[in-house]
Amino acid sequence: MTRYELPPLPYDYDALEPHISEQVLTWHHDTHHQGYVDGWNSAEETLAANREEGDFSSSAGAIRDVTHNGSGHVLHDLFWRNMNPDGGDEPTGALADRIEEDFGSYGAWKGEFEAAASAAGGWALLVYDSFSNRLRNVVVDKHDQGALWGSHPVLALDVWEHSYYHDYGPDRGDFVDNFFEVVDWEEPSARYERAVDRFE
């Protein structure tokens, strides 16, 4: 059975200061993200044991735990990769062109994305929707409620309170503004191009 592991941050814990503190990254990565990895592994172990024993009385809950914790792991991994201490620019190339095509302008996309971030009980995502062949902003509660079938995350912003309360208190908007100071558009651009190559 595959066991999932917490990957290291792609930068030092203090690398995103002053926008995101070393303390928040330490708690968020080492405690919260690790918890989703552990929860996914535990749920998979339960399902494997149930299959072997032929007792499926706890399988429905374990299946939900796979969805919740697996999505939490995937989105956190993407969130860390979407940031870089040298980030903060606007997208360029194919992703920039597609944002302009699908949203009208970068400013229109950003305004809609910020609205998603203000409403989400978990995540604001920019996704490539392979069914409709376009980019979309998606409001996802927790890790898996509100996700769109056939979509592939391109950019992920975690707006659970553990992402920002230590640094910003209840001012989520200030946290979202500072997220854009560290976004590394190179990684989302590469992710977008892989999705397009696969589905278009």
In what order do the strands lie in the sheet containing 151-158? 134-141, 122-129, 151-158
**Residue 148: what pLDDT?**
87
CB atoms closer than 10 angstroms to residue 64 = 12
Q: Provide the number of structural domains found in the chain.
A: 2
Are residues 140 and 120 in contact, defined by beta-carbon separation less than 8 angstroms?
yes
Domain that holds residue 42: 22-81
What does the DSSP assignment read for 44-103? Answer: HHHHHHHHHHT--TTHHHHHHHHHHHHHHHHHHHHHHHTB-TT------HHHHHHHHHHH
pTM: 0.94
Tell me the CA distances in angstroms from 143 to 57, 71, 135, one per residue in order.
25, 6, 19
Cβ atoms of 167 and 69 within 8 Å: the answer is no
Q: Is residue 7 part of a domain?
A: no
Strands 122-129 and 134-141, sheet pairing: antiparallel
Q: Quote the pLDDT of residue 152.
A: 94
Name the domain boundary from 36, 56, 81: 81
Residue numbers belonging to the annotated binding site for Mn(2+): 28, 76, 158, 162
Q: Are residues 53 and 102 part of one domain?
A: no
In a domain, 6, yes or no: no
Distance CA 46, CA 63 (A): 9
Same domain flag for 75 and 171: no
| Residue 14 within a domain | no
CATH number at residue 125: 3.55.40.20
**Residue 155 in tokens:** 């950019």
Give the tens place of pLDDT for each residue, 144-173. 898 889 999 999 999 999 999 999 999 999
Q: What Å distances lie between residue 55 and 48, 60, 141, CA to CA?
A: 10, 11, 31
CA 103 – CA 87 distance, rounded (Å) = 22
Domain ends where: 30, 56, 81? 81
Residue 152, SS3? Answer: strand
Coil vs helix vs strand at 183: strand
Per-residue pLDDT of the chain (200 residues; tens, 9 = 90+): 789 999 999 999 999 999 999 999 999 999 999 999 999 999 999 999 999 999 999 999 999 999 999 999 999 999 999 999 999 999 999 999 999 999 999 999 999 999 999 999 999 999 999 999 999 999 999 988 988 899 999 999 999 999 999 999 999 999 999 999 999 999 999 999 999 998 86
Token pair of 88 as six digits: 């903060």
State the pLDDT at residue 1.
76
CB-based contact 73:37 (threshold 8 Å)? yes
Q: Write the pLDDT tens digit of every residue in 39-54.
A: 999 999 999 999 999 9
Residues at the binding site are: 28, 76, 158, 162
